[in-house]
Amino acid sequence: METRRRGRIEVICGSMFSGKTEELIRRLKRAKIARQRVEIFKPAVDVRYSDADVVSHDSTKISSTPVDSSSSILLFSSEIDVVGIDEAQFFDAGLPEICNQLADQGIRVIVAGLDMDFRGRPFGPMPQLCSIADEVSKMHAICVQCGDLANFSHRIVANEKQFLLGENDEYEPLCRACYRKATGTTP
């Protein structure tokens, strides 16, 4: 009797410096230990730490396939048990449908990305991914101002573009109260 694999979508979201990529890498390494066939994707535009590897801020890394669009993921996903996708906020609006197709084929899909941009607004396809996910893990950084849990990525450089690849020099994690104070917005 053949057993059918059950696909699912897992979303890991939160602010910058909250450990999203680290958690994605942890789950993918565990899948490899379980002898599952794993493929990892990242947007080709993300070249901060490496052109090809997915790398966390603490330098943990795993090799990946950079792709220009979400539809490219389908081309590399045959004979795979687990698909990992990092920096999902930078992908096109077709990503949720691609994730649904993969899950419907019995593939475990693990997606990591920022749920909000630096303005505190939903970012890219992340809201749709959270709504169709079987599981959502909200990660939190530590507020650099007061030490509380942080869920906002505060941009500390003058640049209004929504897509700005950044690190410690461009962003800092803040809690709600410190973010409101820093941006001059009221709740």
- From the DSSP assignment, how many helices (H) and strands (E) are in the chain? 5, 12
* Stated pTM of the model: 0.89
Report whether 126 contacts 114 (CB < 8 A).
yes
Q: Which one from 10, 39, 87, 172 is the annotated catalytic residue?
A: 87
Q: What is the pLDDT of residue 50?
A: 59
User: pLDDT-derived band of residue 57, with 50, 70 and 90 as boundaries?
Assistant: low
Q: Tell me, which fold does domain 8-139 have in CATH?
A: Rossmann fold (3.40.50)
Residues, the chain, total? 187
pLDDT at 142: 98
Q: pLDDT for 112-166, tens place per residue?
A: 999 999 999 999 999 999 999 999 999 999 999 999 999 999 999 887 777 666 5
Cα(53)–Cα(102) distance, rounded to whole angstroms?
22
Element (H, E) at 99: helix 95-104
Residue 167 bears catalytic tag = no
The amino acid that residue 128 corresponds to is Q
**Cα R_g (the chain), whole angstroms:** 17
> What average pLDDT does the segment 86-112 reach?
96
What number is the average pLDDT over the span 34-40? 95
Element at 93 (helix H, strand E): none
